Amino acid sequence: MVEPGLNEATVEGPLGADDLRKIDSYWRAANYLSVGQIYLLDNPLLREPLRPEHVKARLLGHWGTTPGLNFIYVHLNRVIRARDLDAIFVCGPGHGGPGVVANTYLEGTYSEIYPDISQDAEGMRRLFRQFSFPGGIPSHVAPETPGSINEGGELGYSLLHAYGAAFDNPDLLVACVIGDGEAETGALAASWHSNKFLDPVHDGAVLPILHLNGYKIANPTILARLSHEALADLLSGYGHEPFFVEGSDPAEVHQKMAGTLDAALDRIAYIQAEARGGNKETLPPRWPMIVLRTPKGWTGPKEVDGLKTEGFWRSHQVPISDVRGNPAHLLLLEDWMRSYAPEKLFDAAGKLIPELAALAPDGARRMSANPHANGGLLMRQLRLPDLRDYAVAVQTPGRAQAEATRVTGEYLRDVMRLNAETRNFRLMGPDETASNRLDAVFEASDRVWMEPILPEDVHLAHEGRVMEVLSENLCQGWLEGYLLTGRHGFFSCYEAFIHIVDSMVNQHAKWLKVARGLGWRRPIASLNYLLTSHVWRQDHNGFSHQDPGFIDHVVNKKADIVRVYLPPDANCLLWATDHCLRTYNRINVIVAGKQPAPQWLSIEEALTHCTAGIGIWDFASNDQGGEPDVVMACAGDVPTLETLAAVNLLRDHLPSLKIRVVNVVDLMTLQPKEAHPHGLTDREFDALFTTDKPVIFAYHGYPHLIHRLTYSRTNHANIHVRGYIEEGTTTTPFDMTVLNGLDRFHLAISVIQRAPGLATPAAHVIQRFRDKLIEHKDYIRRTGDDMPEIRDWVWPYQADAA
């Protein structure tokens, strides 16, 4: 007997009749479960006629992309079994949730993880009910979905995550479905060129499957309406060998898909064998990819209320609406669901029949149970060098000069070396590793580059582990995929341009928050940023390169996910780098400059100071443990420098003034203990900042953030913050601070104006500082450089003079 949806006459191709029948049945089972999730509250197996009360009151979900995903999934299952593949499934089409969930349920993983959703009628009822339901699961693939490393909410990152997963996993196949809607996004459009960074010797394979179902929410898609020739050109231009699978007759498309998948996997095996056998002539490889063109909402209702639905955008979400209130719609839904013949797919108990269950791979070979997609299971701690070995010697504060990022570059070089064998650490950056002065890493690894390498090229190699491409999106997406599959990484970026990935960071933070609540998802390594080339040192780039707002952006995320560090010198940056590489499930943001700058703390002092995250700098304070007249706080390398220079000015001119200097490395310490795990208690905060003395706070970024973090503190009304107030331009380093009122003179004037008990002599000092500012302006206008007394200023006191 011919199964529903299959036409016996067309059965020819790689699949035998029996295999074809089974694959199609499995697909129907997944489609049935998908429709059930969107619509049903009860009567999951349709063992009685469908009644309005069996249907959800609020119909929410997405059908359109789902049958195509189910189709791909069952075909991947076939080749995984046939070839014993180690494979994961990355689902790009945003709202394919019902399909992927259905498949993970069919292969048993879902019930293993969520025992309430058992493989029987009651479990199926719960499976249906929870979908897009309060307390249930979202309509897209999400952290809750077993086997997923890609949230289907914000679109565009599937292919990047797929590549991130494949790097350094030579035996892994990452099947990545890309929706034709998603393909219009910037991140996805750029990520096709990721294949230029995939080494067939040491990395696994990515098999992109571009799924053209033709429509977005209410529009055709660009790629689906390209001519065949233009699309083939485009994909060839991306460096792929495209295989086309197109049609709407299930039997025919099953045969084409099976044959094509075999061909593509043969091609991958060939590329890998050649490369691993040492043949460089086939490089860069032309990796295969599949274009699958099938109708949107395939196998769904052809028409609803006389309007074309299957094969059109009307099947994008819920094709039949108002099912409870419209008897004709109820009947249409029932007919549709019964067209899959659930009685032939599930046994009396409601479990998938054994003949079909046998189609799924076993154990960890199931894509939903593959440990790579729950990367924490595979994560190994990094081997880290002793950071003391890289320390800048600081006998007297402020005398030694160093470029902080250059020092950290040496540390990272050795992280690279110590983990070379396990190949689980990568450095990402948009073409800025050397420009950000981390170039010591090139002593340990080159940049990965699969395109031709010329004799004059430096530090390019197929097996490089430094990843540079002029796209923050690509760096971010690759790193996310790499971390999510259990590895470690570090992303250095120009501070201003990290905003390009604001939205990706949001989504990663959301993933982490949800994943932390799922016991079965194991912790993954933190996402670590080093933001350098920061706002204060854009001497020639000027205003367009000045934006410290990424800190503000991440601080909106859940407190237990986010950390922000502002190391004031090289030894503190070493600590921050080392610390962040040891953490997991977090987003760590470090901001530090790359320019030569005075060094304040010895490595031992740095360890103590940074571990506390905040503290009084005794060497710079003259309140000798008593109550100060004024607190000068600073966070960030440039604000620290200007604060100490201001202390110098004040001590020279007003030696009786008692100044306390508080330096903040860990910005989160400023928040109340209840708001953040690193927050100081009010008592601790008051002990540092006093309850009533003026606090002049020099901050790296937008001043408001400090107010926001401290608004509930006792002394808040006395905290006067200076920071970046969007006054940027092309100018000297010191002039940038002057324009924003963060320079030593403005800080010192601010102190004098607020410190109690300073009358006539102080006015004279203020005038002197104002004159200096005028002198400065005149000097740079003439010379283009800062005055030597400012540029070359050195902290004048011995360590023991404090």
Return the residue of 37, 70, 169, 221 that touches a second copy, per CB under 8 A: 221
Site for a second copy in 310-329 (CB under 8 A): 312
CA distance 525 to 379: 8
Interacting positions 331-370 with a second copy (CB under 8 A): none
761 binds a second copy (CB under 8 A): no
Beta carbon nearer to a second copy, 112 or 184? 184
Joined together, the tokens standing for residue 599 give 């060094």
Of 553-582, binders to a second copy (CB under 8 A) are: 553, 556-558
Quote the tokens at residue 530.
């080093």
Choices 524-532, 536-544, 615-623, 647-655 (CB under 8 A): range interacting with a second copy: 536-544
For the chain, helix (H) and strand (E) counts, in that order, are 26, 22
Closest alpha carbon to 161 in 504, 450, 494: 504
To a second copy, the closest distance from the beta carbon of 130 in angstroms equals: 9
Q: What is the token pair recorded at 93?
A: 């089409």
Q: Considering Cα of 627, then 629, then 635, then 638, what sign does the dihedral take?
A: negative
Among 421, 456, 792, 800, binds a second copy (CB under 8 A): 456
Taking residue 350's Cβ as centre, other Cβ atoms within 10 Å add up to 18
Contact 451, 196 (CB under 8 A): yes
In whole angstroms, the minimum distance from the beta carbon of 78 to a second copy comes to 31
Q: Is 184 in the site for a second copy (CB under 8 A)?
A: yes
**Type and span of the H or E element at 639:** helix 637-653
Closer residue to a second copy (CB): 255 or 533 = 533
Nearest distance from C-beta of residue 179 to a second copy, angstroms: 9
Residue selected from 23, 90, 173, 500 as contacting a second copy according to rule CB under 8 A: 500
Q: Which of residues 718-757 bind a second copy (CB under 8 A)?
A: 726, 728-732, 735
User: Looking at 342-350, 403-411, 646-654, 704-712, which segment touches a second copy (CB under 8 A)?
Assistant: 704-712
Listing DSSP states for 521-571 in one string gives: SPP-B-EEEEEES-TT--TTTGGGG---THHHHHHTS-TTTEEEE--SSHH
User: What helix, strand, coil percent values describe the chain, rounded to 5?
Assistant: 45, 15, 40
158-166 and 472-484 helices, crossing angle to 10°: 60
State both tokens at 397: 């504060």
Beta carbon nearer to a second copy, 124 or 391: 124
**How near is the Cβ of 558 to a second copy at its closest, in Å?**
5
Query: Is 335 strand, coil or helix?
Result: helix
CB under 8 Å to 652, separation ≥6 — which residues?
A: none
Tell me the window of 72-80, 102-110, 221-229, 249-257 that interacts with a second copy (CB under 8 A).
Answer: 221-229
What is the smallest separation between the CB atom of 144 and a second copy, expressed in angstroms? 10
Query: Minimum Å distance from CB 464 to a second copy?
Result: 11
- List the one residue from 3, 495, 547, 623 that touches a second copy (CB under 8 A): 547
Q: How far apart are CB 98 and a second copy at their closest, in Å? A: 11
The reply on whether position 596 binds a second copy by CB under 8 A is no
Per CB under 8 A, the segment of 212-220, 413-421, 625-633, 645-653 that binds a second copy is 212-220
DSSP 453-508: --TT--SEETT--EEE-S-HHHHHHHHHHHHHTT-EEEEEEETGGGGGGHHHHHHH
The answer to whether 318 and 38 are in contact (CB under 8 A) is yes
Residues in the chain: 802
Give the one residue of 362, 451, 627, 674 binding a second copy; rule: CB under 8 A. 451
Instruction: Answer for the pair 356, 504: CB distance below 8 angstroms, yes or no.
Output: no
Within 31-60, which residues bind a second copy (CB under 8 A)? 41, 56-58, 60
CB 75 within 8 A of CB 261: yes
Does residue 216 touch a second copy according to CB under 8 A? yes
> Is residue 220 involved in binding a second copy (CB under 8 A)?
yes
Q: Which amino acid is at 767?
A: Q
Which window, 181-189, 341-349, 588-596, 659-667, contacts a second copy (CB under 8 A)? 181-189
Nearest approach in angstroms of CB 707 to a second copy is: 5
Which segment (69-77, 345-353, 491-499, 742-750) binds a second copy by CB under 8 A?
Answer: 491-499
Structure tokens at 523: 């912790």
691 belongs to the binding site for a second copy (CB under 8 A): no
Residue (388 or 704) nearer to a second copy, CB: 704
* C-beta closer to a second copy: residue 313 or 619: 313
CB of 32 to a second copy, least distance (A): 20
Q: Which of 514, 518, 773, 799 lies at the binding interface for a second copy (CB under 8 A)?
A: 514
Of 9 and 454, nearer to a second copy (C-beta) is 454
One character per residue 426-445, x = contact with a second copy (rule: CB under 8 A): -----xxxxx----------
Using CA atoms, how far apart are residues 779 and 781, in angstroms rounded to an integer?
A: 5
Q: Which is nearer to a second copy, 132 or 663 (CB)?
A: 132
Give the relative orientation of helices 570-581 and 603-612 as an angle to the nearest 10 degrees.
Answer: 60
Both tokens of residue 580? 């962040």
Please give the residues from 655 up to 674 whose contact with a second copy meets the rule CB under 8 A: none
Cβ-Cβ contacts under 8 Å for 443 (sequence gap 6 or more) = 413
Does residue 544 interact with a second copy by CB under 8 A? yes
Beta strands, E only, 593-702: 596-598, 614-616, 630-635, 659-664, 695-699
Backbone angles phi, psi at 598, to 5 degrees: -65, 150
Window of 3-11, 288-296, 356-364, 703-711 that interacts with a second copy by CB under 8 A: 703-711
Decide whether 225 or 388 has the Cβ nearer to a second copy.
225
Q: How far is the CB of 454 from a second copy (least distance, A)?
A: 8
Q: Which of residues 772-801 bind a second copy (CB under 8 A)?
A: 780-781, 783-785
Residue 276 or 704: the one with the smaller Cβ distance to a second copy is: 704
The residue among 190 and 661 lying less far from a second copy, judged by its C-beta, is: 190
Find the shortest distance in angstroms from Cβ 394 to a second copy: 28
Task: Please give the DSSP secondary-structure letter assigned to residue 543.
Answer: G
Is there binding between residue 457 and a second copy (CB under 8 A)? yes
Give 287 or 346: the residue with its C-beta nearer to a second copy: 287
CB of 494 to a second copy, least distance (A): 9
Residues from 117 through 136 that contact a second copy (CB under 8 A): 129, 132-136
List the end-to-end C-alpha distance of the chain, in Å, as a whole number.
Answer: 94
Exposure class string for 74-98: b at 16+ Cβ within 10 A, else e:
bbbbbbbeeeebbbbbbbbbbbbbb
Q: Quick one: 248 or 783, whose CB is closer to a second copy? A: 783
Closer of 254 and 521 to a second copy (Cβ): 521
Helix (H) / strand (E) element for 720: namely strand 719-722
**Interaction of residue 499 with a second copy, rule CB under 8 A:** yes
Cα–Cα dist 402/424, whole Å: 30
- Sites for a second copy among residues 134-153 (CB under 8 A): 134-140, 142, 151-153
H or E element that contains 554: helix 550-555
Q: What's the CA gap between 251 and 4, in Å, rounded?
A: 11
Q: Please state at what angle helix 97-106 crosses helix 17-39, rounded to 10 degrees.
A: 120
Tokens 């010895």 found at: 602
Burial 671-681 (b: 16+ CB within 10 A, else e): bbeeebebbbe
Report 255-314 residues binding a second copy (CB under 8 A).
308, 312
Instruction: Count interface residues toward a second copy (CB under 8 A).
Output: 119
Confirm or reject binding of residue 463 to a second copy (CB under 8 A): no
